[in-house]
Each structure stands twice: as structure tokens, then as C-alpha cells.
Amino acid sequence: MSAEDKIPVTVLTGYLGAGKTTLLNRILTEPHGKKFAVVVNEFGEVGIDNDLVVGADEEVFEMNNGCICCTVRGDLIRIIESLMKRKGRFDAIIVETTGLADPAPVAQTFFVDQDVAEKTRLDAVVTVVDAKWLSERLKDAPEARNQIAFADVLILNKTDLVTEAELAAVEALIRGINPYAKLHKTQRSAVPLDAVLGRNAFDLDRILDIEPDFLEPGHHHHHSDEIGSIAITVEGDINPEKFMPWINEFTQVRGPDLLRCKGILAFKNEPRRFVFQGVHMILDGDLQRDWREDETRQSKMVFIGRKLNRQEIEAAVEACRA
Amino acid sequence: MTTQAQTSLTQNVTALDGGDHVITAAFIGAHPVLALADGCVKIITDGQTKSLAPHTGAPVLLGCVAGDTLLTGGEDGKIIATSADGSLTELADNKGRWVDALVAGPAQSIAWSCGKSVFCRDGKGQIRTWDAPSSVRGLGFLPKGYRLAIAHYNGASLWFPNSEAKPESLDWKGSHLDLTVSPDGRFIVTSMQENTLHGWRLADKKDMRMSGYPSKVRSLSWSHDGQWLATSGAEAAVIWPFKDKDGPMGKPPRECGVRPAKITQVAFHPKSLVLAIGYEDNCILLCRLTDAAELLVRRPVDGAGSITSMAWDGAGKRLIFGTSEGQAGLLTLP
Ligand SMILES: [Zn+2]
């Protein structure tokens, strides 16, 4: 089955009351002519406006390698197996998680389970954030930080309830955790559908550039146990024989602390760009299109995670120079 | 006769009117029956097809034979028994919760699960429930007594529905999927998320690991004498010997029906050591264990999907099958 034939899956996360259900109903009711299968938590909010709504238990299973970050959603594997027997009944799947859920097991399900990966593809993790209450949430709920760190698309909602200065502060807070997700400021979760669906965030072909929107120094200082991000740019070429073993080992050893990573690299004597992306220990990378004449051959990487040491990572990448 | 004709039974197959993804192809009494993902149940009598919608339009998630009826679990959360005459009986209503596993047991009992909840219904209609430690994927009745084996995360449990006693647990780390009990009740085997099988010898709970599969094992079938367990999941039917006290431990499995396509369904003949093997490319072979002779039942057809269900009738004269693209057929042995 080719990538285009696979059913896209959007994961919708966000802390309770942030506007997740409002966004979901917006997606479902707009006149787009698309049919969705929606997977919601069994004990979650009611009032979802869709024909096909499936209740899930959010059961997280460890894989047998004994690693704490290598987890999948067992219930989701079962639900998708059943859903995929009804071809033509829906065009896309939306998985809504509870406010307390870690998005990693959901995302990893689409890479780890063979049968699920054969028929579906993860399109993007969309996180809805409440502009008014986020700073409070970040103090008492580690899940909220996880959900921001993991996102490909961030919906900063309820902007009408805060002042401009407060909004700027919340945005800075978010960018300190996740500098590369697409950020949309909304009221009542009003966002164009194409900002949320059809993102291909995990497709190596579509990782066109890594331009953190917010890279002012100073915002990366965070307590070592908190989630933060490290963006690295290297001018000149990288030696793949040094880089590949390093990134493989780094993601294996630091997998539990490393939530997401992405990179576009210039390998020595290689006319094509090497693109990689990862979720915890799951790493996917390939040579993609040629570097264009007007592009500078430089390597950029973003790492998002806990207890990441900038000096250590910078030194390791520096040692991979060609 | 040409050599081709001698090794092929394709002439003995008649097409059945499928339509949608075949969830269950089976026999109720002498009648071939198909349960389709779109919610339709078709009963074939003397070449005539009767179509029913036991779940009033809701899709069928799974099905199994119970005596002279076909049981189906639908997206409506109901379990319906369909008889050959077309009559429908509602056996359970789980209020919209999807049924994840469904089996028939001795004395008209049935068991099913929704998430963590396991239900046993005896022949008189008395329903007992038990909450497993995690979601349940596979169920199997033991051949003697009213006792159910339940596969879940990190192992399996053995439950006497009529007893207040806490179910006995069989521990093995990981996610267990389908479950089968050997016909003599000595062994329990589960398939696992990590492309392996796990077994327990019930007498002493001794663990057995059966690994080496390139994908998940989703079809398991015991030979009529209970001495062999055939499994899907590889490009050959992998058949484990269970004759000895130790089961398959320390013994290599037999392999048959090697083709460049993954096996999705296996079904042992009810009276002889002949295995029906269905592939992901919808090809079907019969394989005789004694001399590895192979007979072609169905040639692969492009776009017809994989074999999703296959069953022999009680006499072992006919084999019914269905595919993920809604094709179905009936083999009548010469
Ligand atoms: Zn891990």
C-alpha cells in the first residue's frame, strides 16, 4: 500500500478545557465533504457531532524490550484493525486523547505496529493550549508540557481572554518548549482546516525546512529536568559515517528523555539532503531531494526533550563534521 | 487427466455471493454462512442465498459458530445468534460497546469481552462477569468443566464463572492477543504483539515460547487428534507438535505450503491430517501432513484481497472461505 493510499490519522491533544472538543466539532462539521472516524476516550467529553465515534480505554502497553519509553496504545491497535475492515466508510481518522494523556504511545503505535503502519499513517499531533491558564497548568501538570513538546501543530486558543502582553508571555513559554511546531492563535478554536489536517508532519518528503519561529537566546534556559528544545545549525558538511552511529546511539540511550527530533543534513559528497525525524527511540531517516543552487549547504537539527545538555549535543554534532 | 488436473481442486470450487470484507465464513449445520463487515449475514441453502441484517444495519465486528447458529458481535454492541432458518436471537446487549472477543463453549455457553470486562453466558442465559486486569483480546473455553481462559496484557487468566474464587493467573510479560486451548485441555497458547506465540502447560504452568515469525500470528488451528497446532504469520504454515508431554519444547516445527506470500488463515481438516492454508494473496492450498502433498484450491486473483476466514464442515467434505475484498467460495471435495 503506498503512502497516498494509507488513511491519515490526526492526534488531537490538549489539557482539559483548552477547546479540544470545540476544535474537533469544527473539523467534523465544516463543509469539506470528508468522512471521519473519531476515536475518543470512553470517559471523555460527550457531544461529538459524527456518525462514527469509537470509545477507547487509552491503555498503554510497554513493548517487550523493557524500555519505559517504548510504549503503544493497545486499544488503538484493536480499534484500527476493526475500522480498517470497512473500506470507503471514512477518509481519515482523528484520535482525541484525554487531557492527561502522553501523546507518545499514540504516536508510536503508528510506527511500531506492523498492521497499523501498513494501513494508516500518522499525519500530525495537534495540541490545543489555553492562553489564559497555560502558565498555571505548566506548574501543576507535567502532561501539559509533554503535549506541547510533542506537537506538530499548536493551537493557542482563547486569546481573547488575555492581554497582548500576557499572550506574548504565553507564546514565549510555548516556544521555549517547542520552537518548530506551527503555531496558530485562535478564539473558540477557529482555525482553517488545512492548518490541522493534511500536515504530513512525519513524512520525510515533506520536512522541507526547519526554521524555528522563535530562536532568541535566553528562552532556552530551563531547569535541566524540564522539557526544552535545542536547535543546532552546522555550516558545512557532516560525515555520515560519524553522524549515523552517533544519532542511533543517542536516540537509543537518551530515548526516554528525548521526545521528538528532526533534522536536515548536508552530507559530504552527497548532492541530496538527508532528512530524519524521530519519536523517542524510533528514528526514521532518508536521502531526499537535491540541494538547490540557491540553498546554503548547512545542517540543522532540533531536539526536544528532558535533561538535554546543549554543550554535550553541540560537541557531539561538531565531532561529526566532515 | 493431466498432471495439473490431478493436483488441482479449482474445478471443485463454486463462488459464493460475498460483497464486503468477509469477517466469518463458516457452516451452521449443513448451511454455508458468511458474516460480512457491512453487517450482512448470508445463509446459503441449495444454492439460494438469504441475506439478513442481524445488527439492523450496524457493521459486524466478529463472528463464530455456536452449535447450529452463527454468533456475531456488531458495532451496535449486541451479540446476535442467527439460525439457518433466518431467525435471530439477541443474546447480549453491551450498550454500544464493541465486542473484542467472542467464543462458544460447552453446553450452549458463550463468552465475550468488551475492554476489560469478560462475560460468560451459560445455556440457561445466566450471565456472569469478571473484570480482567487489562483489556482482553482472546478467549477460549477449556474442554471440560465450565472454565474460561482469557488472554490479556502480561498473561492469561483461568476463570470458573460459577465460582467466587479469584481466577488463576498465568504470567508472561507482554501483550497477548488470540488464545487457543488444546483439545485435550493440557495446553494454552496465545499469540503475542511481538510476533511470537506463548504457551503454558496447565499441569505445572511451565512456559513455552514459540518464536521466529515475521508478523503477528492471527490464525491458529488444532489437528483433529490434538497433536498438531498449525499457525499463520509466515510464508509457510508453521505446525507445532503437541503430542508429547512437553509439547513442542525442544522440537522444531513442521512447515508446509511454502509460497512467496504470507499465510493469513489456517484450518485443519476435522478428520484427517490435512491443512487448508489461506494466503494474503487469496491463494488457498490443501497440504497433507503425512507426505507434504499439496493440492491447489484457489489461484491468487489480483485485487481480491487476502483470505480472512476459512472453515470446514463437520464431515470434512466442504471448505468455505472469504476474502478481505468480499470474494467467497465453497470447495466440495470429490
Ligand atoms: Zn524506549
CB atoms within 10 A of CB A188: 12
Identify all chain B residues contacting A115, using CB atoms and an 8 Å cutoff: 215-216
Identify all chain A residues contacting B215, using CB atoms and an 8 Å cutoff: 114-115
Q: Minimum mean pLDDT among A201-210, A232-241, A245-254, B172-181: which range?
A: A201-210
pLDDT value at residue A142: 83
pLDDT value at residue A67: 87
**CATH number reported for the structural domain that contains residue A218 in this entry:** 3.30.1220.10
pLDDT value at residue A41: 82
Is A169 a residue whose pLDDT tops 70? yes
A136 with A186, same domain: the answer is yes
Is A45 a residue whose pLDDT tops 60? no
Q: How far is the CA of A258 from the centre of ligand 1 (A)?
A: 10
A249 with A108, same domain: the answer is no
CB B135 within 8 A of CB A57: yes
How confident is the model over B13-39, as a mean pLDDT?
A: 96
pLDDT value at residue A211: 60
**CATH number reported for the structural domain that contains residue A149 in this entry:** 3.40.50.300
H-helix or E-strand spanning residue B278:
strand B274-279
User: Which of these, B268, B273, B256, B276, lies nearest to B331 by C-alpha position?
Assistant: B276
pLDDT value at residue A115: 94
How confident is the model over B247-272, as a mean pLDDT?
A: 96
Interchain pair A75, B21: CB under 8 A: no
Domain boundary among A161, A183, A202: A202
pLDDT value at residue B2: 39
A190 with A287, same domain: the answer is no
pLDDT value at residue A136: 87
C-alpha cell at A296: 546554503
Please give the model's pTM, rounded to 2 decimal places: 0.91
Burial of B55 (0-12, 13-18, 19+ CB in 10 A): buried
How big is the A-B interface in CB pairs under 8 Å?
51
pLDDT value at residue A46: 65
A149 with A219, same domain: the answer is no
The span from the CA of A29 to the CA of B314, in Å, is: 51
A83 with A198, same domain: the answer is yes
The span from the CA of B125 to the CA of A137, in Å, is: 50
CA distance B8 to chain A (A): 31
CB proximity list for B104: less than 8 A, separation 6 or greater: B64, B65, B66, B67, B71, B110, B141
Interchain pair A87, B21: CB under 8 A: yes
Q: How does pLDDT run across B43-72, given as a tens digit for each residue?
A: 999 889 999 999 998 999 999 999 999 999
Name the residue among B61, B96, B216 with its Cβ closest to that of A82.
B61
CA distance A148 to chain B (A): 29
Helices (H), A63-181: 74-83, 103-112, 114-119, 134-140, 142-150, 164-177
Is A307 a residue whose pLDDT tops 60? yes
Identify all chain B residues contacting A114, using CB atoms and an 8 Å cutoff: 215-216
A169 with A91, same domain: the answer is yes
How many folded domains does chain A comprise? 2
A181 with A32, same domain: the answer is yes
- Exposure letters A210-245 (e unless 16+ CB within 10 A, then b): bebebeeeebbeeeeeebbbbbbebeebbebeebbe
Is A217 a residue whose pLDDT tops 50? no
pLDDT value at residue A139: 85
A125 with A152, same domain: the answer is yes
pLDDT value at residue A55: 87
Domain boundary among A152, A175, A202: A202
pLDDT value at residue A51: 82
A278 with A192, same domain: the answer is no
Q: Minimum mean pLDDT among A132-136, A204-208, B174-178: which range?
A: A204-208
Domain boundary among A202, A235, A265: A202
Q: How far is the CA of A253 from the centre of ligand 1 (A)?
A: 9
Is A319 a residue whose pLDDT tops 80? yes
A222 with A194, same domain: the answer is no
Q: Which domain holds residue A103?
A: 3-202
How confident is the model over A61-89, as a mean pLDDT?
A: 90
Q: Which carries the bigger pLDDT value, residue B27 or residue A68? A: B27
pLDDT value at residue A216: 46
Interchain pair B153, A74: CB under 8 A: yes
What is the average pLDDT score of chain A?
88
A278 with A132, same domain: the answer is no
A76 with A100, same domain: the answer is yes
Ion ligand 1 — residues with CB < 5 Å: A 67, 69-70, 255, 281
